[in-house]
Chains A and B, each alone.
Chain A
Amino acid sequence: MSGVAPPLLEVRALETRFSTEAGLVHAVDGLSFSVNKGDSLALVGESGCGKSVTALSILRLVPDPPGRVAGGEILFEGYDLLKLSRRDMRRIRGGEMSMIFQDPMTSLNPVLTIGDQISEAIRTHESVSRRSAWRRCVELLELVRIPDPHRRVHDYPHRLSGGMRQRAMIAMAVACAPKLLIADEPTTALDVTIQAQVLGLLDRLKRELGMTVLLITHDLGVVAEWANRVVVMYAGNKVEEGRVDELFAQPLHPYTQGLLGAIPQAGRVHYTNARLHEISGTVPNLIDPPARCRFAERCAKAIDICHREYPAPFRPAAGREVSCFVAERDLA
């Protein structure tokens, strides 16, 4: 792959804030990353790290009020989405770029049939007849391997199992062959055996339709199995980025290291022979966070400067990045 082609999506210094009674929450605070064409990029982090807000910000779906994208640029094929008119933005949503959500039980409208909801997506972006849109629905349901699509297309969501609903959501999302699919924790609400099915489906569709996928997840297992590149987020910031192989083989940021150590499955650990690596304390409050490393309070390796300054991104190799004074010192 040549490095010349511009990225499909480039997020630059994104800031998304929510006003609450307690104060202004900096949910995403100066986040930058890019998604190349054909990528399977995973945005990984624990709850409250801002990964879902990032996804909503990209599609400009942050509920306003209380939320607001306060700064930065989101370049999609070179155009800044934040500067588009509402009408143009609507053309992007569901057309060029679409999204699926965590809970398939609540993300489909309970009073409309599956066919209604998918054909609505088609007819919003393409001028096709009702009949041919309906035909496309059936094909799409076939594509996502929903058995008996001719019948299912007339069903209401509550008649489908969780896994089937998520397939229907995916069918709806890929209806207009988007260039980028954002999947926000698409398997978190599903059982593992169903999760494997859905991840396999995403993989296949990506290949067949030539999509790029941005996967948002908290599960490092899913990242390792599925993604080719990964961005690790903590408290509204990116802490580390790299190819999946590199990052799992040699995590650079103490937070990434901690996360990997905290998973019981890594190595053959059992409570009788090993304690799990814990990260002490809890995630910091994001109301007016101080300008220093957000992870410093919980970090076992923190040195003086960590408590005073914000670490700039350090790039030890192409496509590899870490924001940590300690890692930078050790690598230098």
Chain B
Amino acid sequence: MRRLTEFWRRYRRNVLAVLAFGVLLVVAAMAVFADLLYPQGPWEMVTRPFLWPGDRSQHLLGSDMLGRDVMAGIVHGSRVSLLIGVVATAVAFIIGTLVGATAGYFRGWVDDVLMRFTEIFQTIPPFMFLIVLVAIFKPSVTTITLAIGIVSWPTLARLVRSEFLTLRERDFVQAGFVIGMSNTRIILTQILPNALPPVIVTSSVIVATAIINESALSFLGLGDPNLMSWGTMIGAGRQVLRNAWYLTALPGIAILLTVLALNIAGDGLNDALNPRLKSG
């Protein structure tokens, strides 16, 4: 608890980061209360097509070519974005931390093998790999989430590995060996608490990347066909780009704001979790 308040005290100093946190709260609220806000769902044709934003007050952001409410689409789309962003990152986090920690802690041939393996995954152009995976395994929330997780873990694995490699050589970890700690205990009590902060910061950036990747998939028509996503809206809007560009612009702004907020919050986390400890 004391640490949490201390953390918030430091995070609060970055005004922009607090603002970003607010934006994320709003997006999260949209995702949670989507069914309350727009109980009819995003697919319902509620008005006349091609209403520009501001034309009618009850459809604030206008309507698309089928007369569906753009705002309803954005609110419901936040669900897909956040869900896939967070869960895919969790998948990447689990794989990345396991692989990276094992490689960095045990070093030697274990490290060599795991890192060669990671490098292979890093060499395959991630987005291409992503569309291939999703296309072959048929687009659904599950396949998309897993596929994004699979292309995102190498970054985390490398980060965790380098953290483990340096921390393992630190004197305080060596001291753990000298007082007779087991490997598990050293990893859990000495290394992990010190390795985690940069990993958490990077994870926030990976959530952002995952959201962009999901929207790009949907834009290309490889999203879950049963769900309304921001990328799907942009893909649909593209067909009428010349006449109704707001249909492309608005969901894009939603993505931009969310991703921007995540990145700024990541910077804020970084400052709050790694205060430059004064030495000497």
A interface residues with partner B (beta carbon < 8 Å): 20, 22, 47-48
B193: chain A residues within 8 A (beta carbon): none
Question: In angstroms, how far is the closest chain B Cβ from the Cβ of A53?
Answer: 13
The docked-state distance in angstroms from the alpha carbon of A121 to that of B280 is 33
Chain B residues closer than 8 Å to A20, beta-carbon distance: 278
A48 proximity list for chain B (CB < 8 A): 280
Min CB–CB distance B50 → chain A (angstroms): 55
Cα A48 to Cα B280 with chains together (Å): 8
Query: How many Å lie between the Cα of A22 and that of B275 in the bound state?
Result: 14
What CA separation (Å) do A190 and B278 show in the bound complex?
26
Least CB distance from A282 to B in Å reads 11
Interface residues on B, range: under 10
A-B contact pairs, 4 of them (CB 8 A): A20-B278, A22-B278, A47-B280, A48-B280
Alpha-carbon separation in the docked complex, A48 to B279 (Å): 11
Considering the complex, give the chain B residue whose CB is closest to the CB of A283: B280
- Interface residues of B, Cβ cutoff 8 Å to A: 278, 280
A47 to B280, CA, bound (A): 8
Q: How far is the CB of A38 from chain B (nearest CB, A)?
A: 35
Q: Give Cα distance in the complex from A106 to B61, angstroms.
A: 59
CB-defined contacts of A47 to chain B, threshold 8 Å: 280
Separation of A20 and B279 alpha carbons in the complex (Å): 13
Cα A239 to Cα B280 in complex, Å, equals: 22
In the bound complex, how far is the Cα of B231 from the Cα of A204, in angstroms? 75
Find the A residue at minimum CB distance from B276: A21
- Nearest to A20 among chain B residues (CB) is B278
Shortest beta-carbon distance, A202 to chain B, in Å? 27
Smallest CB–CB gap between A81 and chain B, Å? Answer: 28
Q: Report the separation of the CA atoms of residues A48 and B278 in the bound assembly, to the nearest whole angstrom.
A: 13
Closest residue of chain A to B275 (Cβ to Cβ) is: A21
A63 to chain B, nearest CB (A): 15
Minimum CB–CB distance from B12 to chain A (whole Å) comes to 15
CA distance A20 to B280 in the complex (A): 14
Residues in B whose Cβ lies below 8 Å from that of A22: 278
Docked Cα-Cα span, A47 to B279, in Å, equals 12
- For residue A2, give the distance in angstroms from its CB to the closest CB of chain B: 43
Q: With A and B bound together, what is the CA distance between A20 and B278 in angstroms?
A: 10
- Minimal beta-carbon separation of B149 from chain A (angstroms): 39
The answer for the CA separation of A247 and B280 in the assembled complex, in Å, is 29
Contacts of B278 on A, CB cut-off 8 Å? 20, 22
Nearest chain B residue, comparing its CB with the CB of A47 = B280
Contacts of B280 in A (CB 8 A): 47-48
Top 4 nearest A-B pairs (CB, nearest first) are: A48-B280, A47-B280, A22-B278, A20-B278
User: Complex: how many Å from CA A10 to CA B160?
Assistant: 54
Q: How far is the CB of B14 from chain A (nearest CB, A)?
A: 14
Question: Measured between C-beta atoms, what is the minimum distance from B139 to chain A in Å?
Answer: 49
CA distance A22 to B276 in the complex (A): 13
The CA-CA distance from A47 to B278 in the complex, in Å, is 15
Q: Shortest CB–CB separation between residue B18 and chain A, in angstroms?
A: 19
Closest CB in chain A relative to B13 CB, distance in Å: 10
Which chain B residue lies CB-closest to A21?
Answer: B278
Nearest-Cβ distance from residue B61 to partner chain A, whole angstroms: 44
A231 to B169, CA, bound (A): 40
Closest chain-B Cβ to A242's Cβ sits at a distance in Å of: 29
In the bound complex, CA of A203 to CA of B280 (Å): 32
CB distance from A253 to the nearest CB of B (A): 24
Write the nearest CB–CB distance from A4 to chain B, whole angstroms.
Answer: 43
Tell me, rounded to whole Å, the shortest Cβ–Cβ distance linking A31 to chain B: 20
A20 to B276, CA, bound (A): 12
- How far is B232's CA from A164's CA once the two chains are assembled, in angstroms? 65
Report B11 CB to chain A, min CB distance, Å: 16
A306–B278 alpha-carbon span in the complex (Å): 30
A25 CB, min distance to chain B CBs, angstroms: 11
Minimum C-beta distance from B7 to chain A (A): 17
Q: Measured between C-beta atoms, what is the minimum distance from A48 to chain B in Å?
A: 7
Cα distance A222–B141 when bound, in Å? 71
Task: Report the minimal beta-carbon distance from A45 to chain B, rounded to whole angstroms.
Answer: 14
Query: How near does chain B come to A20, taking the closest CB pair, in angstroms?
Result: 8
A148 to B280, CA, bound (A): 40
**Nearest B residue to A48 by beta-carbon distance?**
B280
Smallest beta-carbon distance A80→chain B, Å: 32
- Min distance, Cβ B185 to any Cβ of chain A, angstroms: 34
Q: How far is the CA of A22 from the CA of B278 in the complex (A)?
A: 10
> Which residue of chain B lies nearest to A22 when distances are taken between CB atoms in the complex?
B278
